Amino acid sequence: MDRIRLVGGNELNGELPISGAKNAALPLMIASLLTKDPLVLNNVPRLADVKQLERILENHGVDIAVQGRRRGDDEMQGQRITFTAHDIVDTCAPYELVSTMRASFWVIGPLLARMGEARVSMPGGCAIGTRPVDFYIDGLQQLGAEIEIDGGYVNAKAPGGRLKGGKVVLPRISVGATHVIMMAASLAEGTSVIENAAMEPEVTNLAECLIAMGAKIEGVGTRTLTIEGVDTLHGAEVDVIPDRIETGTYAMAVAMTGGNVLLKGANAEHLRAALDVLKETGAQVIEEEDGIRIVKNGSGIKSIDVDVSEYPGFPTDLQAQYMALMSRADGTTTIRETIFENRFMHVSELARLGAHIDVDGQAAEVTGVEHLKGAQVMATDLRASVSLVIAGLAAEGETIVNRIYHLDRGFERLEDKLSRCGAKIERVSG
């Protein structure tokens, strides 16, 4: 099994390209099920989760064509992929495919909307909380779906073959539920309203894609979405937005190691809350025409308390990385996780590097130390694994990060990008 080997102590300097957002690419890929026409996506990242979703879509009958690089393209540039679901040959998403990735459950929305039925396995994925699918099921039922759960599968049918417009009030903000209900409502008969919808940039990316395909959606970027269903959707060409979590991750790495790095292609508007916090810790955040420049030299890291919250607040997907940064801060920092109930699994691994962290329920108190020291550590989930990389970049000596298949799910060519900027990092096979 592959591992990451790091030798800490080097500043990061140079230019680091930001990939397309995994959390945007996955729902955009799933949206291809809504139309017979080709959906072309640009800037698709090369990730394990993307490949797994391709397999799932192919199982439903989607033809997938990946176009090669053009002369002059940067080797880090995202893929251009065409998805054509002319004929959906199977409305069942089986356990062996869905169990490895939660987002694959989202196919239930477009399958039900277009075909009038779907049979989808209950999802699997990272164990960072229960993340139940109740919101998805309740929302689809508000659109007229008849649903039963049997043998670990969700069986859904639309009476008469088509969903009906309805009002869906999400009891808690959910990005996944917003994705699913928005896609389903786009082909429903009549008008649907989603209250308490997620506002994340990835949701906006999907909404704008659906609009380009012919959907009628109002309120994009707000807590209330109004969708007037249409009979059919057509093809479109859409760009995957830059990955704000990758952006924040590398920004925190520079803030921790020191240096000067341009995060090329990053969008500061998608990450305003986290960048504002980073400035308070002592890093310079400079917005440039082609990205965001992070500069950190000289003084130490200032401790700043953070409460994780839904967008536009501080993202839960940057909580572990921020904890790594605060492990070297001057003073004590309180980090409150309000989204998922089990997202402090990285604490014990950061402690192996010398971090001082106390957890009390959903709050972690981080007391900064002068030095971290390299050690063998184990990744527990996607975001936790990269927090260990950040800490290892600043630690004295060698750090080995095991179980890095988590990293491959969400960070494209991480070791290549960091080594370009001066990090001593390599992938070790076996």
Residues 178, 246, single domain; the answer is no
Residues 235, 246, single domain; the answer is no
Residue-range definition of the domain harbouring residue 35: 26-239
Residues 112, 195, single domain; the answer is yes
pLDDT at 129 over 60: no
Percent of the chain at pLDDT > 90 equals 87
Contacts for 16 with CB less than 8 Å, ≥ 6 apart: 250, 261, 262, 263, 264, 417, 418, 420, 421
Contacts for 242 with CB less than 8 Å, ≥ 6 apart: 18, 19, 20, 21, 43, 265, 266, 267, 270
Q: Which residues pair with 154 in a beta bridge?
A: 120, 149
Query: Residue 130's pLDDT band (boundaries 50, 70, 90)?
Result: very low
Instruction: Using the 3D structure, point to which of 239, 259, 278 is the last residue of a domain.
Output: 239
Residues 145, 201, single domain; the answer is yes
Residues 255, 282, single domain; the answer is yes
Supply 353's token pair. 């590097």
**Is 51 assigned to a binding site?**
no
108-117, 122-131, 166-175, 221-230: least confident range: 122-131
Give the whole-angstrom CA distance, residue 104 versus residue 36: 20
Across 353-357, average pLDDT: 98
**Is 305 assigned to a binding site?**
no
Residues 256, 197, single domain; the answer is no
Helix (H) or strand (E) holding 83: strand 79-84
Whole-number average pLDDT of the chain = 94
Residues 394, 294, single domain; the answer is yes
DSSP letters spanning 133-194: SHHHHHHHHHTT-EEEEETTEEEEE-GGGS-B--EEE-SS--HHHHHHHHHHHHTSBSEEEE
**Is 417 assigned to a binding site?**
no
Residues 161, 261, single domain; the answer is no
39-43, 124-128, 415-419: least confident range: 124-128
Residues 367, 423, single domain; the answer is yes
Across 31-44, average pLDDT: 98
155-169, 189-203, 332-346, 415-429: least confident range: 332-346
Write the CATH number for 313: 3.65.10.10
CB 37 within 8 A of CB 78: no
pTM of the model: 0.96
Residues 154, 12, single domain; the answer is no
**Is 408 assigned to a binding site?**
no
Residues 92, 30, single domain; the answer is yes
Q: Please tell me which residue, 343 or 35, carries the higher pLDDT value.
A: 35
Tens of pLDDT along 83-93?
999 999 999 99
Total number of domains in the chain = 2
- How many other C-beta atoms can be found within 10 angstroms of the C-beta atom of residue 247? 27
Instruction: Using the 3D structure, point to which of 185, 208, 239 is the last residue of a domain.
Output: 239
Tens of pLDDT along 280-334?
999 999 999 999 999 999 789 999 999 999 999 999 999 999 999 999 999 999 9
**Is 339 assigned to a binding site?**
yes
Residues 135, 30, single domain; the answer is yes
pLDDT of residue 55: 96
- How many other C-beta atoms can be found within 10 angstroms of the C-beta atom of residue 66? 11
Instruction: Using the 3D structure, point to which of 221, 239, 257 is the last residue of a domain.
Output: 239
Query: Known catalytic residues?
Result: 126
Give the whole-angstrom CA distance, residue 242 versus residue 264: 10
